[in-house]
């Protein structure tokens, strides 16, 4: 009897230890996280997936950037820097890109990172281009992936394509995932993510993602034990949680809360979005075939006034199509100063009389680069144009119907926008202004300039950024002269961090990197 009692007690203790170690904690997870001082990062919306191949939303990208890494990444500007590759080189003809990989890097599940892992990741995307949103964009130009040795991999391209390097820096599609996890979990991989980044997934439930520090990280080990990404859609609530000390970092801070947060010791970080809001003209039909009339309309538009009236503190006035920090931005010509009186004179000089009738198309929703909504922006622009002698009617559609109306060239002009996928200037200039993009609807103005087409094609084929910059400078001059669009605004990503948060890095598109974050003690 005594031996049986001892056996049962021993068995119970063993089972209890197994329960603690392998199943679930015996104290609430929230208590553990609080005790370990996991900082809380507030998202505007929940992450939709933890598989970079499937991701196509900002919140997923923000979480993924701390779990996964690519061969390269963007700095706080839009300059590409090494990550899992220590260096790279392109062949003289731009069709071969060779990457030299870091040694002694492992995925979270212990799988070695090497050239074979890169090949598996890329071929996964190539074989399912129709399934994954960014697969074709990121790797569509890749002919094959070649393993040179365990730490050297070569991409053979179908044609020279300089923006390829920027594709590999994207926070979605390009990051490397564990081949073993892919093989083991297949379609369920997104539930069991394994990357090489500074944090490892611990829990994903009810819109909240909990990451724990990766003690085997190849770079500087995280100083914080982990981080909690929590979705809070209401901006006022996010600010309230920050001020109450229930969160330490938050995106999407309302402008009216910025001063209060700064007074309470919070640091506010603002980064321009990789996007552009613009007023576009159909350049191949109707009144706006005349470049002189387009220039008169541009002279009447005042983006500064629009920003102050519609969304103060929430956008950045554009100098041109390229956001600050992008290659070629510094070469943007000085924008035309708004002047409705001069615009009226230009209208008359072009042979038009005041009262020129135009129809302006707009969307009925908000966009990241237009938080006021399409209709409000269109009507404000119409008011500015009318001061110069235009008579504007505004027609509003739901977003999808709006895009169809533009494709069939309804009206005379339209407000629109573009968000870059990779931050390369080609993704703005070629996409929006190459005549090859007219048939697909991306060049919505139907702008066609043979010299611009030639320059843009040349820029795609040279890997020399100095030469590319000079080429884009010429393109920007043509755009200013031809005025197919009026460039209005870029979005502004605002992140607030508590005073005891140090080392927070915000990359383009508001992507946070938390691997360097440190928590100072005795501060709130």
Contacts of 439 (CB under 8 A, 6+ apart): none
**In a shared domain, residues 293 and 436:** yes
**In a shared domain, residues 340 and 448:** yes
What pLDDT is attached to residue 178?
98
What pLDDT is attached to residue 115?
98
**In a shared domain, residues 115 and 209:** no
Number of separate domains in the chain = 3
**In a shared domain, residues 431 and 314:** yes
**In a shared domain, residues 173 and 116:** yes
Kindly give the parts of the chain with pLDDT less than 70. 1-36, 522-524
DSSP character at residue 20: I
**In a shared domain, residues 211 and 256:** yes
CATH number at residue 476: 3.10.105.10
Under 8 Å between Cβ of 375 and 364: yes
**In a shared domain, residues 57 and 103:** no
269, 273, 274, 278: CA torsion to nearest 10: -150
**Residue range 24-72, pLDDT digits in tens:** 332 344 434 444 589 999 999 999 999 999 999 999 999 999 999 999 9
**Nearest CA among 188, 323, 248, 137 for reference residue 512:** 248
Under 8 Å between Cβ of 487 and 321: yes
Under 8 Å between Cβ of 281 and 288: yes
Q: State the pTM of this model.
A: 0.90
Q: Is 512 a member of any domain?
A: yes
**In a shared domain, residues 254 and 304:** no
**In a shared domain, residues 236 and 291:** no
Q: What is the 3-state secondary structure (H, E, C) of 186-251?
A: HHHHHHCCCCCCCEEEEEEECCEEEEEECCCCCCCCCCCCEEEEEECCCHHHHHHHHHCCCCCEEE
What pLDDT is attached to residue 310?
97
Q: Is 11 a member of any domain?
A: no
Among the three residues 133, 151, 178, which one is the final residue of a domain in this structure? 178
For the record, the structure tokens of 236 come out as 């006022």
**In a shared domain, residues 434 and 379:** yes
**In a shared domain, residues 296 and 347:** yes
Count of other CB atoms within 10 angstroms of residue 1:
5
């Amino acid at each position: 009897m005594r031996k049986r009692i001892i056996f049962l007690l021993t068995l119970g203790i063993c089972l209890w230890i197994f329960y603690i170690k392998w199943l679930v904690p015996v104290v609430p997870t929230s208590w553990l996280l609080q005790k370990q001082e996991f900082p809380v990062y507030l998202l505007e919306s929940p992450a939709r997936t933890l598989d970079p191949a499937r991701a196509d939303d900002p919140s997923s990208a923000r979480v993924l950037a701390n779990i996964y890494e690519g061969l390269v990444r963007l700095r706080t500007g839009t300059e590409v820097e090494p990550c899992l590759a220590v260096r790279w080189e392109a062949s003289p003809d731009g069709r071969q890109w060779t990457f030299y990989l870091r040694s002694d890097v492992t995925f979270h599940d212990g799988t070695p990172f090497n050239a074979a892992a890169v090949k598996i990741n890329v071929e996964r995307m190539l074989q399912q281009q129709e399934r994954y949103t960014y697969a074709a964009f990121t790797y569509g130009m890749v002919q094959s992936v070649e393993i040179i040795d365990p730490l050297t991999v070569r991409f053979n391209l179908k044609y020279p394509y300089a923006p390829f390097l920027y594709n590999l820096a994207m926070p979605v599609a390009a990051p490397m995932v564990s081949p073993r996890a892919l093989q083991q979990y297949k379609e369920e991989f997104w539930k069991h993510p394994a990357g090489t980044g500074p944090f490892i997934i611990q829990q994903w439930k009810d819109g909240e993602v909990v990451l724990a520090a990766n003690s085997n990280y190849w770079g500087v080990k995280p100083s914080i034990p982990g981080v909690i990404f929590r979705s809070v859609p209401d901006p006022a609530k996010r600010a309230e949680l920050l001020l109450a000390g229930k969160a330490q970092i938050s995106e999407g801070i309302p402008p009216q809360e910025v001063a209060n947060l700064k007074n309470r010791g919070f640091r506010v970080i603002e980064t321009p979005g990789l996007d552009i809001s613009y007023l576009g003209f159909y350049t191949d039909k109707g009144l706006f075939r005349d470049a002189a009339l387009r220039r008169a309309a541009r002279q009447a538009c005042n983006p500064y006034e629009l920003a102050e009236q519609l969304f103060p503190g929430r956008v950045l006035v554009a100098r041109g199509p390229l956001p600050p920090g992008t290659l070629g931005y510094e070469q943007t010509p000085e924008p035309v100063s708004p002047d409705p009186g001069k615009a009226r004179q230009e209208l008359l000089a072009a042979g038009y009389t005041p009262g020129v009738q135009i129809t302006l198309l707009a969307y009925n929703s908000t966009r990241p680069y237009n938080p006021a909504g399409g209709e409000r922006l269109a009507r404000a622009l119409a008011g500015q144009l009318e001061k110069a002698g235009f008579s504007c009617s505004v027609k509003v559609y739901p977003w999808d119907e709006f895009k169809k109306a533009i494709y069939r060239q309804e009206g005379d002009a339209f407000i629109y926008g573009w968000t870059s996928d990779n931050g390369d200037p080609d993704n703005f200039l070629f996409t929006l202004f190459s005549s090859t993009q007219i048939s697909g609807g991306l060049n919505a103005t139907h702008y066609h300039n043979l010299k611009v087409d030639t320059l843009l094609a040349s820029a795609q084929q040279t890997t020399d950024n100095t030469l590319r910059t000079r080429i884009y400078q010429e393109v920007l001059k043509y755009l200013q002269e031809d005025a197919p669009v009026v460039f209005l605004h870029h979005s502004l990503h605002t992140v607030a961090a508590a005073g005891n948060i140090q080392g927070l890095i915000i990359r383009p598109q508001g992507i946070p990197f938390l691997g360097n974050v440190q928590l100072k003690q005795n501060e709130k």
